[in-house]
Chain A
Amino acid sequence: MAKVKIAQYWGAGCGGCDVALLDIDEKILGLAEIADIAFWPIAVDAKLKDVEAMPDKSITLTLYNGAVRNSENEHVAKLLRQKSAIMVSFGSCACFGGIPGLANVTNKKDLQDYVYNKTFTSVNPQHTIPQPKWDGPEGELELPVMYDTVLTLEDVVDVDYFMPGCPPTTDQINEFLGIVTKHLTEGAPLPPKGAVLASQKTLCDECGRTKEVTTIDKINMPYEIAIDPKKCMLEQGVICLGPATRAGCGAKCLEANQPCRGCMGPTAAVLDQGGSMLSALASIFRTADNETQLTEDEILELMTQIKDPLGTFYAFTMPKSIIKRKVKEKKAVKQ
C-alpha cells in the first residue's frame, strides 16, 4: 500500500492539539508507518508553496486545529481543503471557536486598542498598532488581516468530520486513525460526512458520580468548598457543564475532581450549549418557601450568584452559539 499523506495546521489555537497528536504514545510509530507528513508547521519544515504545488485531494487527511481569526487562517484552511480528501475540524477551537472565540465579546478595534495602549505594561506613546501592510525601505511587508469576529473552520470551508475536545483525547484520536487505516487497508466504510467523532450522549452519562436529585440554594466556586469526589458537582453547587456537554472524553476532569467546563461542545440534540446549561442550572435552584411572594427582581438577585453566564456557559462555543458575537444597541442600555 502506498503511504498516505497527513497534514496538521494550527489556526487561532494554543498548540495543545498538535501536542495531542504526539501524545498518542507508541501509536505514533504506527502512524509513521502508514503515513507521511505532508504539512505540519509545528513539527516539520514545509512551506505553503510546497502545499500549493501538490495535486488537489492528494493529502489523505488534514487535521485542522484552531479557530479562524485572520486572513492567513482562512487562506490555509481553504488551501488545505482543496488539497485534502478528508478535512477534520480538530479540537474545540476549530469546531466551536474555543477559548479564542470568547474574543467575540469585543471587536478588533477595542481589542487592539486594549492590548497596544491600555494594559498596565503598555508603553506606546505613538499609539502604534500593527497594520496589514507597511512600506519599508526593504519593500512592502504584509501581515495577515485580523478579523473582527472569530470564526469556526466550518464557517469558511466544507468540513468532513468534527473531533471536539480541548484537546481531543488520545482515545478519540486513536479510534479515528484506526477507522481511517481500516478504510485504506481493507476498504471499511468511513463515518457519514459531518459526523462528530465523540459520543452521542451527554457527559453525565459517562460521569461516575452519584446523583441524589437534590436542589441547591447557593453557587460555590470550586475553591470555596471541599468537593466530595463521589457526589455530583452540580448538587454541591459547583457549576459543571456536564448536562449540556457531549460525552466522549471519559469525564477526565471529573475524575480529577474538577467540574466540566464544556470543551466537547453541545450535544447532538441542541444547537446552543450555553442555552442548555442555562436551563439546567436554573432548574436545580430550590423553590423558595415564600416563592409566591417573590418578585422577578428578587429572582434576578438570586441568579446574580452566577457571575458570568456568557463566559461560563460558552467558554468554548461562543462563535458557534446562536447569537455568535456581542452586538451593540443603538440606544444606550439603561443599567
Chain B
Amino acid sequence: MSTQQGTSPAAVTATTEGQFEPKIIAFCCNWCSYAGADLAGVSRLQMPTNFLVLRAMCSARVDPEFVLRAFAKGADGVLVLGCHPADCHYIGGNYRTRRRIALLKMLLEQYGLDPDRLHLEWVSASEGVKFQSTIKDFTEKIREMGPNPLKEAEEESARVKGESHH
C-alpha cells in the first residue's frame, strides 16, 4: 500500500520574487480540445503561459484522482476541456465528465478549496479562440484567488507536528 505518487511536475512558470504566478493543469481531450489548443497555437493566439496541457483520449478519461493529485501536487487551478455535448468521439464520454466534475466541485468545496479552482469547458477543434479566452480568463481568476491553500497546509502540519515532539 505504498503511495507512489510519482515525481512533482516541473515548475510551469518561473516565479518572480513576490509575485504569484499560478500553475494550471489543463486536461484536453484528444479529439476536440487538444486540437483546439493546437489551432490556438498555430494561429499564434497570445495567452498567458501558466498552463501545462495534458492530453487524455477523452475528458471522461480524466479520473477524479488525476484532478485531486494535481491539487495535492500544488496546481493552483485545473481545467478539464472536452468536446461539446453531442460531439463526443465516444458518444457519451463528456456526459459522464460533466457529472463527475460537478460532484468533484462539491467535494473540493468540502475539502475547503474554492470549487472554482476546477473548471470544465467545452472546446471544439475549430475553437482556437475559445481555447485562448478560456486560458486567459481562468488564469486571471486563479491569479485573483491566490495560491492553492494545500501548499501552506502541508507546511503548517509539518510545523505543528514538529512542535508536538518537543
Contact = CB atoms under 8 A, between A and B. Distances in A.
A56 B103 CA distance: 49
A272 interface: yes
Interface string A306-321: 1011110100000001
Interface in A102-154: 105, 145, 147-149, 154
Contacts of A145: 164
Given A271-B3, A306-B103, A327 B161 contact: no
Contact of B98 (A296, A306, A326): A296
Nearest to B147: A330
B1 A325 contact: no
Interface string A288-328: 00011010100110111010111101000000011111111
A327 B149 contact: yes
A149 B157 contact: yes
B100 A310 contact: no
B85 interface: yes
Interface of A is mostly: mixed
A278 B103 contact: yes
Interface in B85-108: 85-86, 92, 95-96, 98-107
Interface stretch (B10-18, B51-59, B61-69): B61-69
Report, as a range, how many residues of chain A touch the other chain: 35 or more
A148 B111 contact: no
Interface string A223-267: 000000000000000000000000000000000000000000000
A162 interface: yes
B64 A310 contact: no
Interface of B is mostly: helix
Given A148-B160, A282-B100, A303-B106, A276 B65 contact: yes
B150 A327 contact: yes
B114 A333 contact: yes
A214 interface: no
A2 interface: no
B110 interface: yes
A71 interface: yes
Contacts of B109: 333
Nearest to A293: B85
B123 to A, nearest CB: 14
Given A282-B99, A310-B111, A327-B149, A154 B85 contact: no
B68 A302 contact: no
B106 A306 contact: yes
A93 interface: no
Interface of B: 1-3, 5, 63-65, 68-69, 71-72, 85-86, 92, 95-96, 98-107, 109-115, 120, 144-147, 149-150, 152-153, 157, 160-161, 164-165
9 contacts: A271-B3, A274-B107, A279-B64, A282-B103, A292-B85, A303-B102, A309-B103, A322-B71, A325-B153
